[in-house]
Amino acid sequence: MEIIKKIEQEHMRLDVPSFKAGDTVKVHLRIIEGEKERIQVFQGAVLRVRRGTTDSTFTVRKVSEGIGVERVFPMHSPYIERVEVVSEGKVRRSRIYYLRGLRGKAARIKSKQIWE
Amino acid sequence: MPKTLGLLGKKVGMTRIFSDDGSVCPVTVIAAGPCPIMQIKSVDKEGYSALQVAFEEVPERKVNRPERGHQAKAGKGFFRHTVECRIDNAGEYEVGQELTVDMFKIGDTVKVSGTSKGKGFQGVMKRWNFGGQRASHGAEKVHRSPGSVGNATFPGRIWKNKKMPGHMGARNVTLPSVEVIDVRPEENIIVVKGQIPGPNNGLVMIRKKN
């Protein structure tokens, strides 16, 4: 089993910042269109982080023109250029699926207070 | 019996990695070789041309006496498994020569054989993908049964090879075309794409495609 861990570690990225459910993140995605490559940004709230090695993923939800959009990103995918943590949210659970049922002002997440 | 030269190995387990184009690729890790050649069989002596390769070194006391005497001739120690590969050019190899994962390279297509996981005595729905019977509308105790198995007076018997319940799994399975993703000679590791037959720690044989 040690060799499997070693192979997985070689495919994992060390530059992914730590974030958890409730945080707002900007995911910079590399989009390849034919020959050209450009960066697309997907900003939203993290619904959940699925922990693991190479198979860890996270789900980001945003509301685009009144329509809720969710995307699941593999944490260590080479398609992700970088992940930027915009703000940390104050939530009580690690899977904030209840956000799907809320809209407008109710769907806001309180930001975490950091005491100096 | 394998017709091409093969390497014995042990399935370590599966994981997923990212391939060069960034897509996710499921892989199986196999600890293969080194496999010393124990015996060379020739047309003159045995009537056919073959190589006998061994795998997984064990202490001498783990090998029974007749096998011990046979394996001592190669002088490479004692091994749990010995398997014959029928190849025509067996004379080109030497006894004691070690086969390693070096014989494969990244991008090769190989054959992988192993014994599939045993499933025990299974019904037709699991074994042959039958549809079973109705869940309701008066169906009683027959939900997973095969239904009719033949006709009446003609033929008056059940056809041969009729798909029936029975023992499933635990048979030799060969995958004809498996892609090699990674080869690590220093660790005796070969990584192939997708799944291979058998449980983790099961014995498998990897062969070049002819």
How far apart are the C-alpha atoms of A10 and B180, rounded to whole Å? 18
Q: pLDDT tens digits, residue range A53-111?
A: 888 999 999 998 889 999 999 999 888 888 989 888 888 999 999 999 888 888 888 88
Instruction: State which residue of chain B sits closest to A79, comparing Cα positions.
Output: B22
ipTM: 0.75
Measured between beta carbons, the chain B residues lying within 8 angstroms of A3 are: 12, 29, 31, 187, 189
Q: Give yes or no for a contact between A5 and B17, defined as CB atoms under 8 angstroms apart.
A: no
At A2, the pLDDT band (50, 70, 90 cuts) reads confident
| Token pair in block for residue A42 | 């997907």
Tokens 């056809």: give the residue. B159
Q: Give yes or no for a contact between B90 and B41, defined as CB atoms under 8 angstroms apart.
A: yes
Please tell me the distance in Å from B12's CA to the nearest CA on chain A.
Answer: 7
State residue A3's pLDDT score. 86
Please tell me the distance in Å from B179's CA to the nearest CA on chain A.
Answer: 17
State residue A1's pLDDT score. 66
Tell if the CB–CB gap between B16 and A1 is shorter than 8 Å. no
Q: Give yes or no for a contact between B188 and B31, defined as CB atoms under 8 angstroms apart.
A: yes
HEC letters along B80-127 = EEEEEECCCCHHHCCCCCEECHHHCCCCCEEEEEEECCCCEEECHHHH
Q: Give yes or no for a contact between B31 and B9, defined as CB atoms under 8 angstroms apart.
A: yes
State residue B44's pLDDT score. 87
At A26, the pLDDT band (50, 70, 90 cuts) reads very high
Q: What is the mean pLDDT of residues A5-14?
A: 86
Measured between beta carbons, the chain A residues lying within 8 angstroms of B25 are: none
Provide the CA A19 distance to its chain's centre, in angstroms. Answer: 8
Q: Hey, is the C-beta of A37 within 8 angstroms of any chain B C-beta? A: no
State residue B113's pLDDT score. 92
At A116, the pLDDT band (50, 70, 90 cuts) reads low
Residue B162's closest CA among B127, B115, B200? B127
Name residues whose C-beta falls within 8 Å of residue A17's C-beta, 6 or more positions apart in sequence: A83, A84, A85
Q: Give yes or no for a contact between B181 and B18, defined as CB atoms under 8 angstroms apart.
A: no
**DSSP letters of A74-111?**
ETT-TTEEEEEEEE-B--SSS--GGGGG--GGGG--PB
How far apart are the C-alpha atoms of B207 and B210, rounded to whole Å? 9
Per-residue pLDDT of chain B (210 residues; tens, 9 = 90+): 557 888 899 999 999 888 888 888 999 999 987 889 988 888 888 888 888 899 988 998 898 999 888 888 888 889 999 988 888 887 788 888 888 888 888 888 999 999 999 999 999 999 999 999 999 999 899 999 999 998 999 999 999 999 999 999 999 999 999 999 989 988 899 999 999 999 999 999 998 886
Closest CB to B12 among A4, A11, A78: A4
